[in-house]
Amino acid sequence: MVGTRFPHALGSDEARDSRASLGAAARACGYDVARVGDLDAPCRSNLAERELYSRPYLLDDDNLAALKRDSAAWLAVNDANHLSMRAALPGLDLEAAWDIVSAADDQLSDCLGDRPWAFDAGFGYIMSEASRCGSGLSARVTVHAPGLAISGLAETAFKRAMEAGFVVSGSYSSLAASGGSLFDLSLPYARRDPERAALGRLSSAARAIAEYERRARAELLSASPWDILDTIGRAAGKAAGARLLSRDEAADICSGLRLGLALGVLEGLSLEAATDLWPALRVKPAQADGEPEAARRATSLRLAVAGLRFSQGYIDV
């Protein structure tokens, strides 16, 4: 904001005043605002695992969590910058997510009144990191690519994306090493493209990788079905019968289940529900009668996949 030092340079009184001002504006705009220190441990864990807020942010009891009912938008106050406006949607509807954030920007600007955002005609929005000045836009797409990982084609696909100027995170050396074959494709910080043009480039790159993944899955199932069916079958078996599950093992099981559902090998669970298992199983469960965390995670997974079954054509394969 104009006339306010960046969060890392704020004194305690200034930080408190900034939080109060931005928190009040968020409430006036319809956000539910809570002090992090007033949230219980499972709630904070849920916010972290769903990547709404970073773990360091949630370690400061005075920070604010601001979410909006029936909206994909949420806010972080005094994180790296004074205010971060964020939105997430399933699929590749990046423009819709941008519309949500843009509308939140307009609404919050009105609610702040005489404390506008720091903006320069040449540099754009002034951010705490010089490389991020400009539109202030950050965007990423998370891609599930087990077919590329199993077939060994992930390295080629993601290197092409990096050569095109995108940032790729996630290890594509093997299925297990990739944390469930999840990869993030992001816009680079240093860029000057208009927002919608940048999002269009990111969407096109993500769609290309998604198409590579679909082809890899189809070819594996047609030419070498045993590897991919074994991955799916082991995931289904562990989901139904495991009594102890680590976080990493749960991630690989979720990947195998989602792969099976996408290929039609499994049924009885929606693709959306399978996708939501990833963060749900990472959340640290509440303590209950001394039962270990790994056991509670396994129980949660068994209950979630109770209706899961092999499709008719794959029961005896």
Any domain includes 79? yes
Residue 123 token pair: 């540099």
Residue 123 confidence (pLDDT)? 76
**Final residue belonging to a domain, choices 84, 116, 148:** 116
**Final residue belonging to a domain, choices 165, 190, 212:** 212
Residues 238 and 181 in one domain: no
Residues 110 and 29 in one domain: yes
Question: In the chain, how many domains are there?
Answer: 3
Residue 132 confidence (pLDDT)? 74
Any domain includes 173? yes
The number of beta carbons lying within 10 Å of the beta carbon of residue 199 is 20
Any domain includes 274? yes
- Residue 119 phi, psi (nearest 5): -140, 140
Residues 200 and 106 in one domain: no
State the CATH number of the domain containing residue 29. 3.30.590.10
The DSSP line for 6-71 is -GGG--HHHHHHHHHHHHHHHHHTT-EEEEGGGS-HHHHHHHHHTTSS-HHHHT-TT-EEEE-TTS
Residue 74 confidence (pLDDT)? 96
Any domain includes 128? no
Any domain includes 123? no
Please list the rounded mean pLDDT of every run of 10 residues in the chain (317 residues): 75 88 93 96 91 94 94 92 91 92 90 73 75 82 91 88 88 45 85 84 94 92 88 94 92 93 95 92 73 91 95 80
Residues 243 and 281 in one domain: yes
Residues 12 and 94 in one domain: yes
Q: Which domain holds residue 273?
A: 225-314
Residue 4 confidence (pLDDT)? 77
Residues 194 and 269 in one domain: no
**Final residue belonging to a domain, choices 212, 233, 258:** 212
CA distance 183 to 181: 6
Q: Where are the beta strands (DSSP E) in the chain?
A: 32-35, 64-67, 73-77, 83-87, 119-120, 124-125, 140-144, 167-169, 182-186, 266-267, 309-310
Helices and strands, number each (H, E), in the chain: 11, 11
Question: Which residues make Cβ contacts (< 8 Å) with residue 105, sequence separation at least 6?
Answer: 85
Report pTM: 0.84
